[in-house]
Amino acid sequence: MLPLGRTVYLWRITRHLTQEELARLAAIPRPNLSSLEQGKREVNLSTLRNLASALGITAGQLVDGIPPEREKISEGLNRVRLEGIADCVTGKRVRLSEFDMKIASLLTPLIRSRLAIHGKRIRLPRRNTRNIERSWLLLRSLLSPQEISSLIERVEGRFR
**What pLDDT band is residue 67 in, cutting at 50, 70 and 90?**
confident
Per DSSP, helices labelled H in the chain are: 4-14, 19-26, 30-37, 45-55, 59-63, 79-89, 98-117, 129-142, 145-159
Given a cut of 70, whether residue 97 has pLDDT beyond it is: yes
Round to whole Å and give the CA distance between 78 and 142: 15
**What pLDDT band is residue 152 in, cutting at 50, 70 and 90?**
confident
Whole-prediction pTM: 0.63
The gap between the terminal CA atoms of the chain, to the nearest Å, is 35
**What pLDDT band is residue 93 in, cutting at 50, 70 and 90?**
confident
pLDDT score, position 31? 95
Q: pLDDT tens across 108-145, in order?
A: 888 877 766 555 554 545 556 777 888 888 888 888 88
- Identity of residue 20: E
Given a cut of 60, whether residue 72 has pLDDT beyond it is: no
Residue 29 and residue 23 in contact, taking contact as beta carbons nearer than 8 Å: yes
pLDDT score, position 49? 94
pLDDT score, position 98? 85
pLDDT score, position 26? 95
Assess if CATH 2.60.40.10 describes domain 4-68. no
Give the start-to-end residue ranges of the domains of the chain: 4-68, 79-159
Q: pLDDT tens across 1-55, in order?
A: 778 998 999 899 888 899 999 999 999 999 999 999 999 999 999 999 999 999 9
Given a cut of 60, whether residue 71 has pLDDT beyond it is: no
